[in-house]
């Protein structure tokens, strides 16, 4: 009997849906126990972080995020997804899970930290608009069902349009430095297009601008676009930015102009593709076609809260490089990347 009870108490691991794993990762990340990506994949890093937490709190060390472990996560471990209607100002496990679902469906907010702020609200509204349900910025059952594919059954594998993700080239011309090229202290996280100063940069595909401003981690003037299925594209070192947070873009929509801001030795476009915030080699995903749409086809509607705050920031801070800047997107005050 005791054995049966144990079997049925086994939590998160047994039905480790990606959203639950993501909420767990976000919580562990917030406690500085997990340095990996919030990708919803229950891998060795996640397991190690759970056991570290359990050891630290004197819990039985089984690597499973059960009730005691969830409790040890503090506000980050509760409440469960779907137990309440989430709204701006809320925080917790369910918010992190929601953010992961939003990101996977291509609505942002850029990262899952368990805090329901303006970017999350804007992402919820985009998801509601896309799903054709009432746009109120409140994440309740209908919104969650839409993000999970409308089945409401908890199936989370059908939330977004399927099919291969391919990207248009943001600028013409060949690629210079490739993905993974050695840099001082790290590997190149994108590809470089050596094109002249002022070359127009087009969005690589349909999506939403989730960052448009100066990045102190080395990217300089940076635009990040959220696409479906958890992909983001990054356009760095821009001389100027021509989009704003919340803008809906499509392939070829003007997002900025090539420059040399940030840690850059000369005009070029640093282009990055990330899946769940993990940089990947863009080349296999690039179409040969250029994003050649005429300028200004985005709706240009800004979500407001931080759109273009640092857009005209011109100062160059010689630090970092094209390294991964693990900073909060759209910060209230830009901070240097911590790693």
Residues near Zn ion, by CB under 5 A = 192, 270, 322
Q: Which two tokens stand for residue 209?
A: 């601008």
Q: Which two tokens stand for residue 195?
A: 């094109």
Task: Indicate the residue among 37 and 271 with the shorter CB distance to Zn ion.
Answer: 271
Distance between CA atoms of residues 161 and 149, nearest Å = 10
- Residue of closest CB approach to Zn ion: 270
Task: Indicate the residue among 93 and 234 with the shorter CB distance to Zn ion.
Answer: 234
Cα Dmax for the chain: 72
CB of 207 to Zn ion, least distance (A): 21
Residue for token pair 């809906």: 248
Per-residue burial over 97-115, b = 16 or more CB atoms within 10 Å of its CB, e = otherwise: bbbbbbbbbbbbbbbbbbb
Task: Indicate the residue among 63 and 267 with the shorter CB distance to Zn ion.
Answer: 267
CB of 327 to Zn ion, least distance (A): 18
- In this structure, are residues 118 and 88 in contact, taking their beta carbons and an 8 Å threshold? yes
CB of 170 to Zn ion, least distance (A): 13
Q: Apex CA 110: angle with CA 119 and CA 150, to 5°?
A: 85
Task: Indicate the residue among 192 and 277 with the shorter CB distance to Zn ion.
Answer: 192
Q: What is the DSSP string of 31-60?
A: TTS--S---S---HHHHHHHHHHHHHTT--
Q: Which helix (H) or strand (E) holds 147?
A: helix 141-147
Closest CA to 270 of 318, 316, 218: 218
Task: Indicate the residue among 128 and 199 with the shorter CB distance to Zn ion.
Answer: 199
Task: Indicate the residue among 39 and 322 with the shorter CB distance to Zn ion.
Answer: 322
CB of 187 to Zn ion, least distance (A): 11
- In this structure, are residues 210 and 202 in contact, taking their beta carbons and an 8 Å threshold? no
CB of 190 to Zn ion, least distance (A): 5
Closest CA to 88 of 135, 120, 110, 128: 120
Q: Which two tokens stand for residue 253?
A: 């929509």
CB of 183 to Zn ion, least distance (A): 8
Burial class of 297 by CB neighbour count within 10 A (0 to 12, 13 to 18, 19+): middle
Task: Indicate the residue among 25 and 264 with the shorter CB distance to Zn ion.
Answer: 264
CB of 283 to Zn ion, least distance (A): 13
- Compute the chain's Rg from CA coordinates: 20
Is residue 200 classed as helix, strand or coil in its secondary structure? strand
Task: Indicate the residue among 17 and 263 with the shorter CB distance to Zn ion.
Answer: 263
CB of 177 to Zn ion, least distance (A): 6
């Amino acid at each position: 009997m005791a054995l049966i009870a144990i079997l049925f108490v086994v939590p998160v691991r047994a039905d480790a849906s990606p959203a639950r794993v993501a909420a767990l990762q976000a919580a562990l990340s917030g406690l500085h126990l997990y340095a990996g990506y919030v990708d919803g994949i229950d891998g060795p890093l996640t397991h190690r972080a759970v056991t570290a937490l359990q050891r630290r709190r004197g819990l039985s060390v089984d690597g499973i995020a059960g009730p005691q472990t969830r409790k040890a996560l503090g506000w980050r471990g509760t409440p469960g997804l779907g137990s309440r209607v989430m709204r701006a100002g809320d925080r917790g496990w369910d918010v992190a899970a929601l953010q992961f679902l939003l990101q996977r469906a291509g609505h942002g907010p850029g990262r899952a930290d368990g805090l329901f702020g303006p970017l999350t609200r804007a992402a919820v509204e985009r998801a509601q608009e896309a799903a054709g349900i009432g746009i109120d910025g409140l994440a309740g059952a209908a919104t969650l069902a839409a993000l999970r594919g409308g089945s409401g059954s908890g199936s989370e594998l059908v939330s977004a349009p399927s099919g291969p993700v391919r990207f248009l080239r943001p600028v013409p011309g060949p690629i210079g430095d490739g993905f993974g090229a050695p840099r001082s202290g790290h590997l190149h996280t994108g590809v470089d297009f050596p094109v002249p100063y002022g070359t127009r940069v087009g969005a690589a595909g349909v999506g939403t601008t989730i960052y448009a401003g100066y990045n102190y981690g080395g990217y300089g003037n940076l635009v990040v676009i959220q696409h479906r299925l958890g992909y983001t594209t990054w356009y760095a070192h821009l001389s100027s930015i021509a989009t704003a947070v919340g803008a809906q873009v499509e392939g070829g929509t003007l997002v900025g102009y090539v420059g040399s801001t940030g840690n850059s030795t000369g005009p070029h476009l640093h282009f990055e593709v990330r899946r769940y915030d993990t940089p990947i080699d863009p080349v296999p995903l690039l179409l040969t076609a250029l994003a050649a749409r005429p300028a200004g086809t985005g709706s240009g509607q800004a979500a407001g809260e931080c759109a273009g705050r640092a857009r005209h920031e011109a100062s160059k801070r010689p630090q970092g490089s094209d390294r991964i800047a693990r900073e909060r997107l759209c910060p209230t005050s830009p901070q240097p990347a911590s790693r």
